[in-house]
Amino acid sequence: MTINALGIYEKALPQDLSWEEKFNLTHELGFNFLEFSIDESDERLARLDWTAQQREDFRNAMWRTHSRINTLMLSGHRRYPLGSKDPAVRKQSLEMMQKAIDLAVDLGIHNIQMAGYDVFYENKTMLSRELYIENLAQCVHMAAEKMVMLSIETMDDPFINSLTKIEHCKTQVHSPWLQAYPDLGNLSAWPENDVPSQLENCIDNIAAVHLKDTRAVTPTFKGQFKNV
């Protein structure tokens, strides 16, 4: 029988706690690991440039509290997308990925959840899609060199809002180091998704699952994907 680890997202905890306090609270709440966030904010993007001492201090806080970080949630690509029309932004997106992989190795994290956006603040085009796939292949190559898993999240965005679309990405980028990390709230909010069938058909490619509440998309409502 498989015993699954149950973690809690860092953003679900009070933000004014020290790392050691966050780890202790994680245990007190009954979870056995914490999900680490690198989002598009300056504060969290700065973690990619932590010094060796900062990384050591973080590891020591984990070890003192008998804790671990299983997953790095990398949503910073929302701000610096892989499919951007701007070459400077695409360069920054790849540099972000390399730093995230290196940080994951230093902190003992083995799985990076990627946000499945070609672009977010720019207009979507056929080119943004092609650039995303091209740069996704580079990301997977970088991750494979360090034996870190990249897992694409199902999103609040139609570009990748289903496990079927992640499966298609895997036909373009063939690697055991590229998998799916579905957000069940995002997945179930899109009316075109048959969630049980998708989970059954794509189970071999699911590295982990994220749980949250959402309100579904309808013909007259764009859905609510956060703060439900």
pLDDT in tens, the chain (228 residues): 557 789 999 999 999 999 999 999 999 999 999 999 999 999 999 999 999 999 999 999 999 999 999 999 999 999 999 999 999 999 999 999 999 999 999 999 999 999 999 999 999 999 999 999 999 999 999 999 999 999 999 999 999 999 999 999 999 999 999 999 999 999 999 999 999 999 999 999 999 999 999 999 999 999 899 888
Angle between helix 126-145 and 87-107 (nearest 10): 30
From the list 78, 72, 83, the residue with the least C-alpha distance to 112 is 72
DSSP string across 90-129? HHHHHHHHHHHHHHHHHHT--EEEEE--S-SSSPP-HHHH
CB-CB contact of 134 with 123 (8 Å): no
pLDDT of residue 227: 86
Q: Between helices 52-64 and 19-28, what is the axis angle to 10°?
A: 30
Residue 152 three-state SS: strand
With H, G, I as helix, E, B as strand and everything else as coil, classify residue 199: helix
List the structure tokens of 157: 């965005």
- pLDDT at residue 78, rounded to an integer: 94
Q: Which of 215, 217, 218 lies closest to 226, judged by CA?
A: 215
Q: Residue 132 is which amino acid? A: Y
Architecture of the domain delimited by 7-205: Alpha-Beta Barrel (3.20)
3-state helix, strand and coil shares in percent for the chain, rounded to the nearest 5? 45, 15, 40
pLDDT at position 27, please? 95
